Every structure is written in structure tokens, then in C-alpha cells.
Amino acid sequence: MITRILKIHPNDNVLVALQDLSKGETIIHDGHSYLLQDDIHAKHKFFMQDMNPGDTIIMYGVLVGKAQHFIPKGGLMNTDNTKHASDPFEYRPFQYEWHQPDVSRFENRTFNGYVRPDGRVGTANYWLFIPTVFCENRNLDVIREALHNELGYAVTDKYKSYTHHLVDAYKNGEDLAGADLGSIGSANPAASRLFKNVDGIKFLNHQGGCGGTRQDAGVLSKLLAAYADHPNVAGVTVLSLGCQNLQVQDFMDDLKIRNPHFDKPLFIFEQQQSQSEEQLVKEAIRKTFTGLIEINKIERQPAPLSKLVIGVKCGGSDGFSGISANPAVGYTSDLVVALGGTILLAEFPELCGAEQQLIDRTRDEAAAKKFIMLMTSYNNAAVNAGSGFFMNPSPGNIKDGLITDAIKSTGAAKKGGTSPVEDVLDYTEPAIKPGLNLVCTPGNDVEATTGKAASGATLILFTTGLGTPTGNPICPTIKVSTNNVLTKRMGDIIDINTGPIIEGEKTIEQMGEDILEYCIKAASGEVIPKAVLLNQDDFIPWKRGVSL
């Protein structure tokens, strides 16, 4: 029999509907009956007892809200009767005991990656174009069109064909509604690539580098240096205007600090020193072409799973995120850590309510206090701007059952698994310690994935309950659906479905192992995540302002 409700933690005083439930139904759970006072849609919650104003609401075993007025037993949790609340947090000496998962299935396994001279291993082999200022975005767009089309990296051919099909249909007086995109077919760029060992040519268009503050330019410089030094990047072309705040020398200085032994092909072009725009573009294309010839000589080699660096992210979350996809990814995280690999958990606004658990799991006192400082200062900045972490849930989150930020956050934190926290990183700081690392980024999907890649993630597991069409230019992003309905509706962007957990067909542990198997194939280039196939190369630098 399919389970219709779930109590996540023994101390919870709410139950989660796994299917739509109707007002007037009597629900039996653990020997107790609940007469539903409202319709309870799947992913939403109802109360296990009468609630009075100020009563605490417990979910995932922690405080996630407080009742605003009387709510009868069996009543629906909503934004009117429930407001965000979370417990205070502090550093306290705590002896955390971690029970590692069984990794016998993965012992001595390898993936085929790009081994770099410093020992890091990339899951892809990219050439990267970097503008030091937004003024160069147009030149990047011109170069992108030229290189992608001629070298076999374009993914827009099917849409061009479809538009051509519409033009012909219009000229012939045919019904445009009959011009089905599916009949055009789907292009496969990999089949026609000139450079078989170059997985892509990527472009970091952005809106920074000048204007704004010098601090913004400084943060951007560190971010771009991190991307140039990334193990998935084999060569770099930099375009500069010349007069902007972010000078080429600033970028080079940050790159040297990041990696004193940086030895990748690096070509720099400054437009104000060139003879013309045409000369600049042609020379950038020519030099890059010679670089592509060189990095095409690099081939994949076996590497141990301890070389995996996986960022875990959730976006377009729903009421099932903390029940299916996030715990499954969390189990994958524990497997990777137990195998000696690295996990990056970010999105600090979405750790609100889970702070004490993470602090108690942090091995190093200095790291724990750094986490407290970053969380506190970040939230204070949001409050001073008239907001706060409590305002994080989006309308889509709320509609699908994430009523408070603490509910969203405690479910989101499950992506990091249960292993000890080894380090806490500020924005753009590199992960140098294996194990679970906390990375300070906004919750915003693209700002967060941009930050994870800067800290060294070579794959990103991105869970979603509503569907999020995004990716990263240099870090293959794997989409993990929380439910069957989303997978069927948006299968063109979903790689893995954890809906079987909700249906009782698979356990979290089984799903977590399946996800790791997919990661091994993706890291080896044996499967290509949908975000990569669709060139979902989203890149948004964080200016360290208030962004939730």
C-alpha cells in the first residue's frame, strides 16, 4: 500500500502529505487519528495537535515556525497561521560521532578524468574566454558564434531549422501550428566536433569590471582567477578594454595568489591597444585556435573517486525536496566523503535553522566560529536592508509546501549528508580539505552555482522540485528531480528522478548509490548532463550585497 503521509522526525508535530488529501478525511498514523480540517495538497503539512498562538512548530526535529493564532488538530499549515522561527545558535564543544556508510560497492572504483599537473582532476576539458569588463561582452558574443558554429559546439541548429521551417510554412500559406519542433530533430554537436578531446569553449559574460565599487571589481577579479585556475579549464583567453576598474594586472596578481604555479595556455588581448576591433577579434580567434590544438592532446585517464569534488545545490524547491532528492544527494555526499572526496554545501540563507547542527558537526573551532560570523553578518546585512533570511522562500516554494525559511533550510541542509564539517569557506575561497566544506554564497541558484565552481566543484548535483533550467559554464550540472510529475513534465532538463522514494519504490540509500553511479559516468564523459547538452552556461558574480 502506498504511504499517504510521512512524519519526518519523531519529535515533529506536523505530518507531510505525500498525496492529495481531502477535508473531512480521517487519517490514521501510528495509532492516532486525525480529522482533516482542510484540503491538504501533496507536499503540504497538517498539525498533529491543537496549536495556540506562540506554540512552537517542529519539523525535521527542529524549530521551524510558530503558530500565529489557534489552529485545530488536522488543520493545514499556511503562511497565515505559521511564521518563521528558528533556534539561536552558538559554538559549544561537541563530540560528533559519524557513522560512515558502506562504500564496499565503490571501493577501488575510478572515473576517467583530465589529470592536471598539480594532481587535481577535471571532469571536463574546456577552453575559457574571460572579459575583465562588460564592455567586451559583444566581442565575446561574436567570437562565440564564430567558434561554436565552425568547431561543432553550437546547440541552436535545431531552432534555426525550426525557424526556417516556419518561414517556409508562412510563404506557402500553411498552418504554422503544424510546424512541430519535434519533427525537426535534435542536433548532436559532439558528433561534428573538430577537437574531440575539447568538451567545450565557454564564455563568462558578466556585467562587472567597471562602474560599481572597487570592492566589486576586486571580488570579480578573484572569481575570474578561480575560474581560470579551475581543473575543468585547460586554457584561457582574456579580453580587456583597458581603462576599466578591473585591470589585467589585478587579475594576474589574483591568479598568481590562487596558483603560483599556473601553467595553462593564457592569451590576453586589450582592445584599446589593438589596431581595430576586427584585428582584436581575428587575433583572439587565431591564438585560441592554436591553444585548442594543444589542449586537444590531453586525454582522459583513470583517477580515484577521492578526486571528485561535488557541489550540492537545490533550486525551484518543493515540499518533497527535503524528503526525497536532498536526502538522497546527502547519502551520495556521505559516500563521496567516505571515499576521500570533497563535498561543497553552500547557500547560507538556506541554512537558517540548521546552524546548530552544522556547528556541532564542525571539527575545528576556528572554522565553526567563522561559520557563525559569516551567517550572522550576512543575515544582519539583509535585516539592515529591510529583509532577512526569513524572507528567502519564493512564491513557488511556498505554493509547493515550503512555508518558512527554516522548513526550506532544514530540508536543504540534508544535501550535505551527515559527515563532519571539515572547513568553512568564504566566497571564492578554494576547497583544500577533503570532506564536507561549507561555502558562503547566496541561495540564488546561479550566484550559488557560480560560487561553488569558484571553490573548485567539478560536478554539481542540483535538486529541484519545480524545475530549474540552469547550469554552469565550466562545471557540469546534474539535475535531480524530487518527484515523478516533474520528471515527466520537464524530462528535457532532468537527469535523475528520486520520485521512487516518495512512491516507496526505492530507499534513500539505494537512490544515493544510483546518483553516485551517474556522477562517475558524468565525470568520465560517458553521459552528458542535460544542462551541458543545452549549453545552460549561467554565470552571475555575487557583489557581496544582499542577495537571498
The domain 5-84 is placed in CATH, from the list 1.10.630.10, 3.90.1150.170, 2.30.130.110, 1.10.1200.10, at: 2.30.130.110
Characterize the bridge pairing of strands 26-29 and 32-35. antiparallel
- How many CB atoms neighbour CB 299 within 10 A? 11
* pLDDT reported for residue 547: 75
Number of helices (H), then strands (E), in the chain: 15, 22
Question: What radius of gyration, in Å, describes the C-alpha atoms of the chain?
Answer: 25
Domain ranges of the chain: 5-84, 126-153+193-297, 306-533
Residues of the chain with pLDDT below 70 are 1-2, 156-157, 178-191, 545, 548
* DSSP class per residue in 316-362: S--TTTTTTHHHHHHHHHHHHHHTT-EEEE--GGGGTT-HHHHHHHB
The domain 126-153+193-297 is placed in CATH, from the list 3.30.420, 3.40.50, 2.30.30, 2.60.40, at: 3.40.50
Report the Cα–Cα distance between both ends of the chain, in Å, rounded. Answer: 40
- How many CB atoms neighbour CB 87 within 10 A? 12
| pLDDT tens, residue by residue, 167-218 | 888 888 888 776 555 543 444 556 679 999 999 999 999 999 998 889 999 9
Residue 122 sits at φ, ψ, to 5 deg, of -85, 150
> Is-above-0.95 flag for pTM?
no
| pLDDT tens, residue by residue, 87-129 | 999 999 989 999 999 999 999 999 999 999 999 999 999 999 9
* pLDDT reported for residue 399: 87
* pLDDT reported for residue 533: 94
* DSSP class per residue in 41-62: -TT-EEESS-B-TT-EEEETTE
Give exposure, 163-175, as e/b (b: 16+ Cβ within 10 Å). Answer: eebeeeeeeeeee
* pLDDT reported for residue 187: 47
* pLDDT reported for residue 178: 64
Contact call for residues 56 and 73 (beta carbons, < 8 A): no
Question: Rounded to an integer, what distance in angstroms lies between the CA atom of residue 114 and that of residue 497?
Answer: 28
Contact call for residues 323 and 358 (beta carbons, < 8 A): no
* DSSP class per residue in 158-200: HHHHHHHHHHHHHHTT--GGG--GGGG----GGGG-S-TT--E
Question: Rounded to an integer, what distance in angstroms lies between the CA atom of residue 510 and that of residue 327?
Answer: 11
Tell me how far the alpha carbon of residue 410 is from its chain's centroid: 17
